Chain A
Amino acid sequence: MDAATKHEASGLHSALRYKFIAIVGNENVRAATAADVVAGVQAKLVIEPGTESEVSEILRLSNAAGLAVIPRGGGTKIGWGNPPTRADLILSTVRLNEIIEHAWADLTVSVGAGCTIQRLQETLAQHGQRLALDPLWPEKATIGGVLSANDSGALRLRFGALRDLIIGATIALADGTLASSGGKVVKNVAGYDLPKLVTGALGTLGAITRAVFRLHPLPRNTRSFSVATANAEEALRFVLAVQDSKLAHTFLQSHFSDESSPVSDILFEGTEAGLEAQEVQLRSLAVPAKVLGSSTSTWTAREELWTLADPQCAAIAKISILPANLARTIKLVEHIASGQQVRWRALAYATGLGWLRFEGKPAALRGTLQALRGELEGQQGSLAALYRPEKMPAFDAWGSVGDALPLMKALKQQLDPKSMLNPGRFVGGI
């Protein structure tokens, strides 16, 4: 901590800190430590409010005092996005962890933003239900964090993204306004769909304090298979054949890397009779590729991608492409990465979303990401650089937003006019 920061922090300590303590109690306010760094920026204070109205009060005070606030859940994806231009407070949702109402007969749940995905799933499972989502690090990741980062995995193919699962939300705006929208019924078109607006907004429009989701039953039985193919074209042919078939698969993902030939994983859920019939159909589709029984490790493929041998020499990107551009994209990755002498590994979903890991020198990683982003944006796609090593030269996490950026800035201006929430972390400097 340099002298100036120290001074400011002690300033917070003497004046505002007292007010914060009056709201949330002494035990829920503490000085930030190295563990609370946000994308390389040191915050000063960590506050853990226990109720929505405490969140509202904290934000109102911070806003009046001009403090930059970083909302944080489990902190698993706190590094996603650009470094904040300022960071004073970390507003932790860790105590807003209540499962408010599991209306199991209505297939809905209302849950506090700080509840972890795993705890929610365990509770839902008691009634044979689930939030049909497989985000990264469920044991630590929270509802609010997963929503803000719009994280989704393989299940998205069948059940949609968070935007399709969330039916209501309460958010605390920068000025302390607590606003609810949506509701707790699955079908509802009253008012603007603000739950969708805050999903994927990286906490820049408001701090999510609670969310309501529609739920799905846990599967009766499952069966999964891995299909080995010779190259990317063959893998794509298999994926497109499955997508164009009458199979009712739950997920379909393909692995690619610079060292082995592609493998695709497919999962089915349903009755034993249904699974039996689908397996027969799959085997006829997959000829001449090899169909193997698959292990449960397919579930953790994305986390494995994120397990870095050397965090100083690796980068991870989320890409979005047209599904039929898969083979072409993999070739592009191969070409660009080999030119930059960068190792690579990819996990691609049939939805057109995918994850890439690159390993190499920081400058080469930047070159790779930049070249690939340019190509993908040229094909109506996108690339978000969600993990970049410290030493990598500056590189925008998000890329081009297109002609809607002025409108996005106007929205930010309306909901957070002083730019207090996660300043500078989102697209176009928002």
Chain B
Amino acid sequence: MNFMEAPILEELRVIVGDRGLISSPEELHTYECDGLTYFRVMPRAVLLPNTTEQVQAIVRVCHRERMPFVARGSGTGLSGGALPVENGIVISLARMNRILEVDFLNARVVVEPGVINLDVTGRVSPQDYFYAPDPSSQSICSIGGNVAENSGGAHCLKYGFTTTHVLGLEVVLPDGSLVHFGGKTLDAPGYDLAGVFVGSEGTLGIATKVILRIVKRPECVRTLLAAFPSTNEAGAAVSDIIAAGMLPAAIEMMDNLSIQAAEAAVHANYPNCGGLLLVELDGPAAEVEALMANVKEICRSNGASEIRVAQSDAERALVWKGRKAAFAAMGRISPNYIVQDGVIPRTALPRVLSEIERLSKEAGVRVANVFHAGDGNLHPLVLYDRRIAGQEKAAEALSAQILELCIAAGGSITGEHGVGEDKKKAMAKMFAEPDLATMQRVRCAFDPLQLSNPTKVFPTPRLCGEKPGEYVPHPSESAGIAERY
């Protein structure tokens, strides 16, 4: 890493003040990775702006000096999206954490990017509203980070993702200019730039203001736990629930290893079984009661040995605490683990799970499965012990094989954690070259110099203005053999 020239450092210090600049190596260590600690890069400096104007001023310096920058929220991301880049700086939005406006009549909230996800709900819950996207890290992750990653959560089956709830954005583009996408009203004229920006993993600029939609709390919420002999029966029950025309607020599944881990960590009082299903229904009370009877029947007919409905809000909270703590809980049963985030069509679940089990046995590496079963988002946790020679390699290899299983099943390499640094090589397996080249063209419109979180998301760096080769269809595609997904 090159140290930054003193005059530039001074210039940045003037923008954010002494308290807004971190440049001593000891302090910079905090910022050398995000939630995915496997990758580490030391930034040249970390800037902590308080205002949009400061963000603009910093980005203008970066633009002039051709110095890459990486925006960072709470640093909880699991794909290395907030990993610093070589010779770059980190712009932390943590101090821009004000809720600027709450408009209940129109169900809109305007926030700065550093606001913590759960604080939005905290602010609007007295009026019985909530902010729907609920990633497991919601008590610490920021809205800006959620925007970058298009974060999901357990309830996105019914309520949608971050992108569903972001109506407008104020964005500092990589040349320092300020632009506005969308707004408080729907269907603003022009391209849906907010739609492209959300989930672009910090590669298109920095959001400095976000207009969110909030949702009225449903009259009634019921959470059911059903214990099955294995994930196969639990999976069959999920299919039957969907086939019956129900759209639960959430359907989560845990296998035995995950149950053990969650029990050890938070004593959620889960039944000990091979496959645990958690189904949450919400809506008008009469509707929920009618459908809950239906769900119970489906669980029973698929061999559930025990069915429980949480009887109080406290019980319900405990059920969710176990599920949301599942990743962290793995520490109780394994010194190290890799979290995967592949997605498969729900119907491929039994096939993919048994394949994972086979690969796991072959590799001698344990895999715990926690997933958003309603939408096919798997979170296999590959467990290993770094101290045992060869285990880390075996775990990584298994983890990569699992992703390939997901792609082969017609799914995706990531459902909510993002591509970041971690999965950029797998992008070339999921998308064909023309697909990636087209995305690159979009990136060049926003960031022709490629300063905003460069080196992430895409497998091969390509300069803007570089002519992509003329499109030639792959022979198998022309012959109608290959489908382009």
Measured CB to CB, the residues of A under 8 A from B are 53, 56, 60, 103, 105-108, 110, 128, 150, 160-161, 163-164, 168, 170-171, 173, 175-181, 183-194, 196-197, 199-201, 205, 212, 216-218, 220, 240, 243-248, 270-271, 273-274, 276-278, 281, 318, 320-324, 351-353, 380-382, 384, 398-405, 407-408, 410-411, 413-415, 426-428
Contact = CB atoms under 8 A, between A and B. Distances in A.
B481 interface: no
Nearest to A150: B187
Given A177-B438, A407-B179, A274 B185 contact: no
Given A178-B473, A248-B287, A273-B289, A188 B245 contact: no
B189 to A, nearest CB: 4
Given A201-B191, A274-B288, A323-B107, 4 more contacts: A178-B473, A185-B344, A187-B415, A196-B192
Interface stretch (B68-76, B268-276, B425-433): B425-433
Interface string B98-127: 000000111110000000000000000000
Contacts of A56: 471, 473
A408 B245 contact: no
B364 to A, nearest CB: 30
A351 B185 CA distance: 9
Contact of A277 (B183, B287, B343): B287
Interface in B299-334: none
B243 A413 contact: no
B445 A411 contact: yes
B408 interface: no
A184 B199 CA distance: 17
Of the listed residues B195, B288, B377, the one surrounded by the most CB atoms of chain A closer than 10 A to its CB is B195
B160 A160 contact: yes
A246 B287 CA distance: 12
Interface stretch (B33-41, B44-52, B82-90, B149-157): B149-157
27 contacts: A60-B471, A106-B376, A160-B160, A164-B160, A173-B438, A177-B471, A183-B343, A184-B410, A187-B376, A187-B415, A190-B414, A191-B439, A193-B150, A193-B200, A194-B438, A197-B442, A212-B485, A218-B245, A246-B284, A274-B290, A322-B184, A351-B186, A352-B186, A398-B190, A401-B188, A414-B441, A414-B444
B445 A271 contact: no
Contacts of B245: 128, 217-218, 220
B106 A323 contact: yes
A407 B445 contact: yes
Given A404-B181, A407-B179, A240 B105 contact: yes
Contact of A190 (B185, B216, B346, B419): B419
Contact of A410 (B188, B286, B445): B445
Contacts of A247: 284
A402 B170 CA distance: 12
Given A180-B432, A191-B431, A320 B193 contact: no
B303 to A, nearest CB: 19
B468 to A, nearest CB: 8
B286 to A, nearest CB: 4
Given A161-B186, A277-B284, A398-B190, A177 B179 contact: no
